[in-house]
C-alpha cells in the first residue's frame, strides 16, 4: 500500500478529536513529502540530528514533534522550531528547554513522559516524581515552557489486557493532574494546562484511543517497517 493509502486508512479509524503524528524517523525526504502531499502536516522524529536536517530541507509549514529521549545538551538545536517535545522526564531538562526557549523568544510546549511500562528500558517519571516537579517553586517560575499534557508508551507485548491496563493507568494519572492543576492552592500553576494525552503507536493505537488518547504517534503503519 502507498503512504497516502495508509494515511487515509489510519485517519478513517481515528476519532475526530485524536491528532495523528506521523513518525518519520529513519524515513527519506521523499517519503515525508509523499505524506505531506497527502495532507499530513505533523511529523515526529526521535533523533535530534535527523530532525534538524529534515526541518531544514522540508516545507516550513510542517509542525515537528520531538518524540525521543532528549539530552539536555541537544535542546538548543531544536529550540528554534520544535512545536512539541513529548518525552520530558526531568526537572533538569525542563530548565534547559525553558532556557533555550527564552533565548529564542518562544514558549515551547511539552509533555511529561510517564513510565507506565513493565520494562526497565522505558524512560519516564513515576507519579510521585511528576507531582514533585509540578509542586516545586522553581518549576512554577518558568515562563518559557508550557506543559500541555502527558505521554507514555505501553510495554512491548502481545498481551492486549496488559497494554490496556497501562494506558488506563496513564489516563487515570492524566485526569488526576487535570483536576489538581485546576484547583487553586493545589498544583495549579500558569505553565501547566493539560489537554493532550499522547499514547498509542502502530501496534496499539486502537487500544489507546479507546482508553482516552488524544494524540497517536504512528510510524511503521504509515511508512512501512524500519530497517
Ligand atoms: C518509533 C516511535 C513511534 C512509532 O512507532 P511505530 O511502531 O512505528 O508506529 C512512536 N513513539 C515513539 C516514542 C517512537 O520512538
Instruction: For residue 49, give the CATH number of its domain.
Output: 3.20.20.10
Helix/strand/coil (H, E, C) string of the chain?
A: CCHHHHHHHHHHHCCCCCEEEEECCCCCHHHHHHHHHCCCCEEEECCHHHHHHHHHHCCCCCEEEECCCCCHHHHHHHCCCCCEEEEECCHHHHHHHHHHHHHCCCCEEEEEEECCCCCCCCCCECHHHHHHHHHCHHHHCCCCEEEEEEECCCCCCCCHHHHHHHHHHHHHHHHHHHHHHHCCCCCCCCCEEEEEEECCCCCCHHHHHHCCCCEEEECHHHHCCCC
Looking at the structure of the chain, the number of domains it has is 1
The number of the ligand 1 atom at minimal distance from the alpha carbon of 218 is 9
Ligand 1 geometric centre to CA of 153 (Å): 9
pTM of the predicted model as reported, rounded to 2 decimal places = 0.96
Distance between CA atoms of residues 34 and 2, nearest Å: 9
63, β-bridge pairs: 42
The number of the ligand 1 atom at minimal distance from the alpha carbon of 225 is 8
What is the extent of the structural domain holding 142?
A: 3-223
To which residue does cell 489538581 refer? 180
147, β-bridge pairs: 110, 192
pLDDT in single tens digits along all 227 residues of the chain: 799 999 999 999 999 999 999 999 999 999 999 999 999 999 999 999 999 999 999 999 999 999 999 999 999 999 999 999 999 999 999 999 999 999 999 999 999 999 999 877 668 999 999 999 999 999 999 999 999 999 999 999 999 999 999 999 999 999 999 999 888 778 888 999 999 999 999 999 999 999 999 999 999 999 999 87
Ligand 1 geometric centre to CA of 218 (Å): 6
Pocket-forming residues, ligand 1, beta carbon under 6 Å: 23, 25, 46, 67-68, 153, 201-203, 217-221
Amino acid at each position: 500500500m502507498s503512504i497516502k493509502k495508509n494515511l487515509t486508512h489510519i485517519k478513517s479509524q481515528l476519532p475526530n478529536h485524536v491528532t495523528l503524528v506521523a513518525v518519520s524517523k529513519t524515513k527519506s525526504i521523499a517519503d515525508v513529502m509523499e505524506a505531506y502531499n497527502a495532507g499530513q502536516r505533523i511529523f515526529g522524529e526521535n533523533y535530534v540530528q535527523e530532525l534538524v536536517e529534515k526541518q531544514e530541507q522540508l516545507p516550513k509549514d510542517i509542525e515537528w514533534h520531538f518524540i525521543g529521549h532528549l539530552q539536555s545538551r541537544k535542546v538548543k538545536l531544536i529550540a528554534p522550531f520544535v512545536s512539541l517535545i513529548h518525552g520530558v522526564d526531568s526537572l533538569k531538562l525542563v530548565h534547559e528547554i525553558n532556557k533555550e526557549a527564552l533565548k529564542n523568544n518562544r514558549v515551547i510546549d511539552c509533555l511529561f513522559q510517564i513510565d507506565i511500562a513493565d520494562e526497565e528500558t522505558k524512560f519516564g517519571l513515576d507519579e510521585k516524581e511528576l507531582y514533585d516537579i509540578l509542586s516545586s517553586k522553581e518549576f512554577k517560575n518558568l515562563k518559557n515552557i508550557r506543559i500541555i499534557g502527558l505521554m507514555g508508551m505501553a510495554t512491548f507485548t502481545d498481551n492486549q489486557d496488559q497494554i490496556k491496563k497501562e494506558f488506563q493507568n496513564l489516563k487515570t494519572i492524566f485526569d488526576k493532574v487535570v483536576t489538581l492543576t485546576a484547583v487553586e492552592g493545589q498544583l495549579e500553576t500558569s505553565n501547566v494546562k493539560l489537554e493532550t494525552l499522547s499514547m498509542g503507536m502502530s501496534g496499539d493505537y486502537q487500544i489507546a484511543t479507546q482508553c482516552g488518547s488524544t494524540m497517536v504517534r504512528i510510524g511503521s503503519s504509515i511508512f512501512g517497517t524500519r530497517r
